[in-house]
Amino acid sequence: QAIDDDCNQTGQILAAMLDWPQGTFVSQVELEAGAVRVQREVDGGLETLRLRLPAVLTADLRLNQPRYATLPNIM
């Protein structure tokens, strides 16, 4: 979680400072040779981008399914 009050500024500013491509609100990541293919949610549906590496990615909540500890594992 970013220190910019969840305004999605940190990743974009970092990408601009490094002059690297960026993928924001990424919900799916697939590595390729020298590139990364990302899927992100936009107003009209889903958008797929292919970015050369290195790149800056910011994650969406759907990128990971949280695992919850069961009661026996907690004890």
Q: What is the three-state SS of the chain? A: CCCCCCCCCHHHHHHHHHCCCEEEEEEEEEEECCEEEEEEEECCEEEEEEEECCCEEEECHHHCCCCCCCHHHHC
Predicted pLDDT at 46 = 93
Q: Is residue 4 part of a domain?
A: no
Q: Is residue 69 part of a domain?
A: no
Mean pLDDT of 5-23: 90
Query: The domain containing residue 16 runs over which residues?
Result: 9-63
Q: Is residue 33 part of a domain?
A: yes
Q: Is residue 41 part of a domain?
A: yes
Q: Is residue 2 part of a domain?
A: no
Predicted pLDDT at 4 = 67
- How many domains in the chain? 1
User: How far is the first Cα of the chain from the last one, in angstroms, to the nearest whole number?
Assistant: 28
The 10s digit of each residue's pLDDT in 16-51 is: 999 999 999 999 999 999 999 999 988 999 999 999
Predicted pLDDT at 33 = 93
